[in-house]
């Protein structure tokens, strides 16, 4: 129970900013509940005064009052419910936004070891489950508790002996709730993990659908999908069985108490201890009592699922942020572009360092080509320059300033990286190119596009820059996607540009145009070319060969190549 309190207490921090609006909603809801509590009490007057007393005026008056109270209660509950649904949606968006922003700050190491489907399951499914419980059950819980307390008070006031008899089966019902709740949380967590596994499988295989088809693996992957789904269904059925037992068995025991009320209450009416109207009112409250009790039992079951989802969301939020903003960032001023790697060692959490005592100095305006075998640490150099990761040891300096002391926004405005797998969003070419500079006008975008070698291609499109590129840029070729990414970097006008195999998908003629335009635009600015292409290396001022995380050779392009 202490763990439950800790999880929910941590989740309540998202509720605190809305406490005033929630207080108003609670007041409206309690007013509606108070009116609903008055309705069963009218049955006593209806039976004793109007029906048994044969008073037509009392009948009309009581029925009119019954209708007015019912309508007023409905209106109040409707208003509170609608206002609460809006507030709960805002609360859960705050939670989802917090997780999303935290994910954006995590290093590539986290995403390398965590399947995307698992992340999406927590960000979408688990937060949705919390929202379902919060939106559908939390306000109902408050209303049910208020109605339950009021109903118990009325039952005691009407006939305390009859109430004691009705409550005889309450202890075993509470025991059943507590007993099955502990087991249910385990089942819910297993079911969530199996669901996340399906999501990860679908994302992976659909992203590689061309390979699946070319390898004649469609049936094999369908069989894997079926096995994962069968595992999920089995865990779902186990969870559902416990859910029914956790909610249904206590409800069954409480329903059995109705028989006790009929038997004992009927005996007291026959004996003249209570009036028929009092007994009728008691039964009306008794029947209405079962609904809130069953609702609270269902919520108790729902809280088991919500608690698991909260824990899974909190596990994401507990992932440490490796790249931390400096408390008092240093001002770079006018950047010349000198880059220095001082004895840098950096790993990816797999035991061995990717870079080990790496030393490199790039002069302002110098074009340096980094080359070497795959896995030797070249791309890690790019990650370090843009601060996707920080070195485990050593320093990276920009114009003599440790980049860890520079504000991330300023650093990333001065350093641009174009990666081999150019990311293109499902929007227009215009919006993709000006992603780093949303305020750029179409004329500036078009100039960057032309310098990246895309001008002629854009001219053939009916919608020009407004052409939509499709999911992950599938409407473009690989070379076109890379040129869009290069145009994006050129528009950002950085002091330091890093091309990480950025021309690998381009044909020789297009590559020559892109590199020629790039040199014209970036003349006098620092450039790091990570490449295996000899033609590109020959255009550099210096070629640096990296092997096993160290610089093993450096010199003029002709000698190094």
Q: Residue-wise pLDDT tens for the chain (561 aa)?
A: 444 457 777 777 888 888 888 889 888 888 887 888 777 777 777 777 777 777 788 888 888 888 888 889 889 888 888 888 788 888 888 888 888 888 888 877 787 777 777 788 787 778 877 776 766 566 666 767 777 777 777 777 877 787 777 777 667 776 766 666 667 767 777 887 787 778 778 777 776 766 677 666 778 888 888 888 888 888 888 877 777 676 666 667 666 777 777 777 778 778 777 777 777 777 777 777 666 766 666 666 667 677 778 888 888 888 888 888 888 888 888 888 889 999 888 877 655 678 888 899 999 988 888 888 877 778 888 888 988 888 889 999 998 899 899 888 888 888 888 877 778 888 888 888 888 888 888 888 888 888 877 888 888 888 888 888 887 777 887 778 878 888 888 888 888 888 887 666 667 776 666 666 566 666 678 888 888 877 778 778 899 888 888 888 888 776 555
Tell me: do 433 and 494 sit in the same domain: yes
Query: Is there a domain that residue 333 lies in?
Result: no
Tell me: do 259 and 368 sit in the same domain: no
CA distance 332 to 400: 10
How far is Cα of residue 125 from the mean position of the Cα atoms in its chain? 8
CA distance 116 to 231: 20
CATH number at residue 288: 1.20.1560.10
Distances (CA, A) of 274 to 45, 174, 265: 14, 30, 8
Residue 55 exposed, middle or buried by CB count within 10 Å (0-12, 13-18, 19+) = middle
pLDDT of residue 4: 46
CATH number at residue 385: 3.40.50.300
Tell me: do 223 and 272 sit in the same domain: yes
Distant-in-sequence, close-in-space partners of 170: CB < 8 Å, separation ≥ 6: 254, 257
CA distance 432 to 485: 8
The sheet that has 339-347: what strands, in order across it?
A: 353-362, 339-347, 393-398, 401-402
Tell me: do 313 and 349 sit in the same domain: no
Longest dimension (CA), the chain: 115
Query: Is there a domain that residue 432 lies in?
Result: yes
pLDDT of residue 396: 92
Query: Is there a domain that residue 326 lies in?
Result: no
Sign of the torsion angle spanned by Cα atoms 425, 427, 428, 431: negative
Give the DSSP letter string of 45-57. Answer: HIIIIIITTT-HH
Query: Is there a domain that residue 222 lies in?
Result: yes
Distant-in-sequence, close-in-space partners of 136: CB < 8 Å, separation ≥ 6: none
Strands 393-398 and 401-402: antiparallel
Give the DSSP letter string of 88-111. Answer: HHHHHHHHHHHHHHHHHHS-HHHH
Tell me: do 281 and 366 sit in the same domain: no
The number of domains in the chain is 2
CA distance 440 to 181: 57
CA distance 485 to 433: 7
Query: Is there a domain that residue 511 lies in?
Result: yes
Q: How many CB atoms lie within 10 A of CB 328?
A: 6
Give the DSSP letter string of 129-164. Answer: HHHHHIIIIIHHHHHHHHHHHHHHHHHHHH-HHHHH
Boundary residue ending a domain (267, 286, 317): 317
pLDDT of residue 1: 42
CA distance 188 to 238: 9
Tell me: do 368 and 306 sit in the same domain: no
Q: Around 356, how many Cα atoms within 13 Å sit in the side-chain half-sphere?
A: 10
CA distance 120 to 128: 11
CA distance 168 to 302: 26
Q: Report which of 479, 435, 417 is spatially closest to residue 454, judged by C-alpha positions.
A: 479
Q: At what angle do helices 276-317 and 2-11 cross, to 10 degrees?
A: 80
Query: Is there a domain that residue 325 lies in?
Result: no
Tell me: do 98 and 193 sit in the same domain: yes
| Total length of the chain | 561
Tell me: do 300 and 381 sit in the same domain: no
Residue 220 in contact with residue 285, Cβ under 8 Å? no
Token representation of residue 112 = 């390398």
Boundary residue ending a domain (282, 317, 352): 317
User: Which domain does 289 fall in, by range?
Assistant: 2-317
CA distance 363 to 386: 18
Strands 542-547 and 550-555: antiparallel
Tell me: do 290 and 425 sit in the same domain: no
Encode pLDDT of 511-560 as tens digits. 666 666 566 666 678 888 888 877 778 778 899 888 888 888 888 776 55
Residue 545 in contact with residue 371, Cβ under 8 Å? yes
Tell me: do 313 and 376 sit in the same domain: no
Query: Is there a domain that residue 323 lies in?
Result: no
Q: How many CB atoms lie within 10 A of CB 17?
A: 12
pLDDT of residue 340: 92
pTM: 0.70
Residue 337 in contact with residue 345, Cβ under 8 Å? no
Tell me: do 366 and 283 sit in the same domain: no
pLDDT of residue 209: 67
Tell me: do 88 and 31 sit in the same domain: yes
């Amino acid at each position: 129970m202490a763990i439950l309190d800790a999880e929910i207490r941590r989740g309540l921090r998202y509720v605190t900013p809305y406490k005033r609006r929630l207080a108003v909603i609670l007041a409206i809801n309690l007013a509606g509940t108070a009116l609903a509590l008055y309705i069963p009490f009218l049955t006593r007057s209806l039976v004793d005064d109007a029906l048994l007393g044969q008073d037509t005026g009392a009948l009309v008056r009581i029925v009119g009052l019954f209708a007015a109270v019912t309508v007023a209660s409905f209106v109040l509950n409707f208003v509170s419910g609608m206002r609460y649904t809006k507030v709960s949606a805002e609360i859960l968006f705050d939670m989802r936004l917090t997780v999303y922003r935290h994910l954006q700050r995590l290093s590539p190491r986290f995403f390398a070891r965590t399947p995307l489907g698992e992340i999406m399951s927590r960000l979408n499914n688990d937060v949705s489950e919390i929202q379902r419980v919060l939106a559908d059950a939390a306000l109902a819980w408050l209303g049910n508790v208020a109605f339950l307390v009021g109903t118990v008070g009325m039952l005691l006031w009407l006939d305390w002996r009859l109430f004691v008899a009705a409550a005889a089966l309450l202890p075993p019902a509470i025991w059943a709730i507590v007993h099955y709740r502990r087991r249910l949380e385990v089942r819910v967590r297993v079911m969530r993990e199996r669901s996340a596994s399906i999501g990860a499988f679908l994302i992976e295989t659909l992203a590689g659908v061309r390979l699946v088809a070319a390898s004649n693996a469609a049936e094999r992957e369908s069989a894997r999908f079926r096995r994962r789904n069968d595992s999920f269904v089995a865990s779902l059925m186990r969870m559902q069985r416990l859910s029914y037992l956790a909610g249904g068995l206590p409800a069954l025991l409480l329903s059995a108490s109705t028989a006790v009320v009929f038997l004992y209450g009927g005996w007291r009416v026959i004996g003249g201890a209570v009036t028929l109207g009092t007994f009728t009112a008691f039964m009306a409250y008794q029947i209405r009592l079962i609904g809130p009790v069953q609702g609270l039992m269902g919520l108790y079951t729902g809280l088991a699922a919500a608690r698991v989802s909260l824990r899974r969301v909190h596990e994401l939020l507990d992932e440490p942020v490796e790249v931390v903003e400096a408390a008092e960032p240093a001002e770079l001023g006018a950047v010349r572009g000198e880059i220095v790697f001082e004895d840098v060692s950096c790993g990816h959490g797999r035991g061995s360092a990717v870079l080990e005592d790496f030393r490199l100095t790039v002069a302002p305006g110098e074009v340096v080509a980094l080359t070497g075998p795959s896995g030797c640490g070249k791309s890690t150099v790019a990650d370090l320059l843009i601060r996707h990761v920080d070195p485990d040891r050593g320093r990276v300096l920009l114009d003599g300033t440790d980049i860890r002391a520079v504000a991330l926004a300023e650093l990333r405005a001065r350093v641009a990286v174009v990666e081999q797998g150019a990311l293109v969003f499902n929007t227009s070419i215009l919006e993709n190119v000006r992603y780093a500079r949303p305020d750029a006008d179409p004329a500036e975008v078009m100039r960057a596009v032309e310098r990246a070698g895309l001008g002629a291609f854009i001219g053939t499109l009916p919608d020009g820059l407004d052409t939509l590129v499709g999911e992950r840029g599938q409407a473009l070729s690989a070379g076109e996607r890379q040129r869009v990414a290069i145009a994006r970097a050129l528009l950002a006008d950085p002091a330091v540009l890093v091309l990480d195999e950025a021309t690998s998908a381009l044909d020789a003629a297009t590559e020559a145009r892109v590199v020629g335009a790039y040199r014209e635009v970036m003349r006098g600015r620092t450039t790091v070319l990570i490449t295996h292409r000899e033609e590109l290396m020959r255009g550099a001022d210096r070629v640096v060969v990296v092997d096993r995380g160290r610089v093993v050779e450096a010199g003029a392009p002709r000698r190094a190549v």
